[in-house]
Amino acid sequence: MTRDKRKKRKDHATKKAVSKSQKASKQASKAERKDSRHASKFDDDGDEEDIEILIKQFQEGDRRIGVAEEVACEPPSPRANASWVAAAGNAPFVWLFGGEHCTGRKVKVYGELFKYRIDKKDWRRINTPVSPPPRSGHQTVVLTNGKLLVFGGEYTSPSQNQFHHWKDCWVFDPKELKWEQLDIPTPSARSGHRMTVWKNFVVLFGGFYDNYKTTKYHDDLWLFDTTEYKWSKVEFSSLASKPGPRSGFQFITHNDTIYLYGGYCKKQIDGDRESGHVYSDMWLLQMSADPSLITWSLTKKAGKPPPKRAGCTMIMHKNRGIRFGGVEDNEDDEDVVCRNDMYAFEVEKGRWFGVTIKSGKAKTDDPVAELDPAAETPAAIDPSQPHPRYNAMLATYKSQLILYGGLFEDKKSEHTLDDLWVVNLDKGGPWEVVQRGGWERGGTSMAALREAKTGEETKEGGEEEESGSDSDSSDSSSDEE
């Protein structure tokens, strides 16, 4: 899911506060982002420039960088709703682009490109004189020639009072370390959409556009021809069966079939009132070289389907779609539960089943105190397993599943993660923690961070505001996040 889910929860929290105390204002709920090459554009008292000015500055680029270079660096700052994609041809690295970081009253959106070396377990930052403006909730795919294709996403001002959705299309050449913006007609501006590769085509579906005045969810399908560098919309009969508008769904390819699962959408009820809807349906998109023969079909979920939740992430590994995590919430009682479980979809048999990963021994003497997703009281979770989260970012390299970042949320706060885990899917585990999260590297548990943040918010503004999940995801992802 992307910002649509976060906005839903903000609206709900506001209505509840008004009904209780008749207060028209509400506290800011998202935290200030660390580090940015554009941080100087915001002054010390928190005022921010108009978003159109910021966007113009981004588009002009950082002319101080004269030559593209790859530089060894520290791990990126925490982020979610970025793109995290494995390189082509079994090359041992993963690309990380963009994303956002929420830690308090402000938000930071990134436009950085990193390369994570799986074999050496190190990070490299790619510095280029021209690059896409910062964004989150976008999509990136790796083409058969090894280049990256980026489309869409959104830029959010630090206060989250201004938004801009992108409809630009960029290509990155890893050999030349060069970004190029394609000057071609594209699908409409959006974020929370999904893209996957089929033969020489990139297939795009869905997403949403929201500027706090107008919200629109998409159900359109587009093809990007990687040989002609051209977008084309696939038209369907008004009577044809197809998925409803949505964002933050799972979208994977196997042979000539693309599988769509779940997603999120806002629907109007009782006049102007909106309610968020989490999907759990599954659709098959049968591909063809002739666009007029492409068809959607709804399929039953056999086996042991996963529970309905938002913010899941799914990726193909061999003949299985692997789904991780997600968030379950109830808009009425504001209960939020993040998960770290895994499910697999066996594409050839069309069946779901749960995935059990072997437990490993903790590699730290300081277990992280956290809320047990199945309990109401604090408990020590297994530190040899990834923390529960939604909008996690997944990539595969040979038999390895590589998990990075995402979001964790409870009733009072939201945390952007930056830990990195690897598990051998063929062996069934255990998980290996390659990079501990910043909260653990600093020796502070997430429970302590939440307690400190809650005290700070109460001291500053009186009332706490509930923060919500970004549904790009499947956030993600993503997305998404």
pLDDT tens digits along 198-254: 999 999 999 999 877 778 999 999 999 999 999 999 999 999 999 999 999 999 999
Residue-level pLDDT at 126: 97
For 337-376, write each residue's pLDDT tens digit.
999 999 999 999 999 999 999 987 644 433 333 333 333 3
- Compute how many other C-beta atoms are within 10 angstroms of the C-beta atom of residue 25: 9
Rounded to whole angstroms, the Cα distance separating 249 from 310 reads 8
Buried b or exposed e, range 425-452, using 16+ CB within 10 angstroms = beeebbbebbbbbbbbeeeebbbebbee
For 35-82, write each residue's pLDDT tens digit.
333 333 333 334 677 888 877 777 666 555 568 899 999 999 999 999
Residue-level pLDDT at 413: 80
Rounded to whole angstroms, the Cα distance separating 123 from 72 reads 6
Query: ∠ at Cα 136 (401, 398), nearest 5°?
Result: 15
Rounded to whole angstroms, the Cα distance separating 340 from 312 reads 10
pLDDT over threshold 90, residue 384 = no
Domains defined along the chain, listed by start = 3-461 (2.120.10.80)
Q: Are 400 and 432 in contact (CB under 8 A)?
A: no
Residue 477 three-state SS: coil
Q: Are 198 and 253 in contact (CB under 8 A)?
A: yes
Please tell me the least confidently modeled range out of 158-162, 423-427, 428-432.
Answer: 158-162
